[in-house]
Structure 1
């Protein structure tokens, strides 16, 4: 067996598209508690208060909602070269782009579903202005004490036509490993969770019930505790933000969750992942059956219908 190469360091950022850029920006800054770190043309760059990079969310004005691209930072320039070699061997490579405000040149690839992935190494560390400098030098930025006060980007979830294909793309092309899966009675894979770190997952993807390729399910920002999520629910209530489901606990991956929609229509999750870490080098993926998933979430909450049907961009 070939020893796996752990070439990706972590999820870097997600680009969200919105047809309501001003409203979406107010949501992420005033309600989520994120900080704006820069602007370039039709895009605004945002971050959680303890994200070390310049940005983890790129919010881009568009005619519709959805995901522009997903980016991962590699461990080294050599690791980036290895990933490029593998992606090109798979026929998935798109080539180099100049990169965003927050990082240097990046290599782009695309899976069969049409989602665009970006890999880069050279990055820009966030340097807070004097009024945002923290008291502790090992913290990226002063605690904002605004809105939900999200700390860092955690993961994202994509909607795909073929779960098995996307899993193969991320395992081979990106060097990630699968931690949990949903397999239906028919043998069809309905969802998978993969990681490039010691977190239980950095990206998840589930089957799009509309059969439409390239759509987006949600992006997730982490807070420190379940109490923070309960407080976030009250904050969303006060701001008139529709809560889709939660607070509650997932069965898959045991994430404590709360889901809402930002004004552009994209789903956003606030989560506390708890203490589960992927420390075992020989971890075998947990397989969830159709009957087990039909039971709903960990404490019996049934999965709301919109969780299966709502994605961006919207389809009829």
Structure 2
């Protein structure tokens, strides 16, 4: 038998992300009006938003900044003890930053940087969402009633981070946070070009994609979930009707098997609206590896993603270098 190491089970789920935007008013209108999210708090240069199906207070912090990109990622632990365990493990590494008093809606957090330069925090204490009277649903086991605005996204589904070294980053998340590698795309020599990682039973909660620019800390995209594949098509029409550039029209991914549409929100960050995907129940799931030859076949139905999908991220390197 092979040596068995008990997996880390401290991270409960991806809780929230902070996106930075140089066009805060237009970005807010995108997330509120076109995605159908609800504002729960505005303070200083930031706005906090939630999807109608979120089981937490919010999943998106939108912050005004000079350029688009990722502010930080928040992950919730299963318990105070789990938080202490992760913090102590990270303190002993070169990645730790230190404790914070927390942000709106959650208690103390431990912050650190991943090897690619993304700022991450873990926390446990969190304010519960109290449904206002005008949003109370007909079924008491729902967080709030259905949003009839725009694409009507339910919740944050996953994120994709750019990295100049996918192998190093995917190993970091497995070693320090307990993520498991569900799928990977590799080169002819076996180096990862994309890693799909999960802590829940979804096929992935986070993807890490190769950034060939070699830059640190760039953001690829955030994905928000809708209830059905047909609603992905509806989202595409919402974007079309409102002049939002569609980078990749509705199609189906091979890895994860999600239906998707990709756009750029007005600030410049790539956003995905998605539906579906498979679940992982078995504890001994074996990582699925996609070869370069298999990846050449494109998406599930044969067509490829646009070239920009593999090069564009925020901050936009080309725009920054030209002073745009």
CA RMSD of the aligned region, Å?
1.0
Counterpart of 1:290 in structure 2 is 292
Q: How many angstroms apart in 1 are the aligned matches of 2:75 and 2:22? A: 25
Counterpart of 1:239 in structure 2 is 242
Equivalent of 1:93 in 88, 91, 96: 96
> How many pairs align?
315
Unaligned stretches of 5+ in structure 1?
A: none
Counterpart of 1:102 in structure 2 is 105
> Structure 1 residue 264 and structure 2 residue 267: aligned?
yes
TM-score normalised by L of structure 1: 0.98
> Structure 1 residue 78 and structure 2 residue 70: aligned?
no
Contact 1:86–1:172 under 8 Å retained in 2: no
> Structure 1 residue 302 and structure 2 residue 299: aligned?
no
> Structure 1 residue 142 and structure 2 residue 162: aligned?
no
Equivalent of 1:201 in 194, 204, 212: 204
Equivalent of 1:157 in 149, 160, 172: 160
Pairing of 1:180-191 with structure 2 (within 5 A): 180-191=183-194
Unaligned stretches of 5+ in structure 2?
A: 319-324
Counterpart of 1:173 in structure 2 is 176
Contact 1:75–1:121 under 8 Å retained in 2: yes
Equivalent of 1:126 in 129, 133, 153: 129
Contact 1:90–1:173 under 8 Å retained in 2: no
TM-score normalised by L of structure 2: 0.95
Runs of 4+ in 1 over 4 A off after TM superposition: none
Deviation at 1:313, TM superposition (A): 0.3
Q: How many angstroms apart in 2 are the aligned matches of 1:43 and 1:202? A: 25
Deviations 1:169-200 (A, max 9, x none): 10011111110001101322111010011111
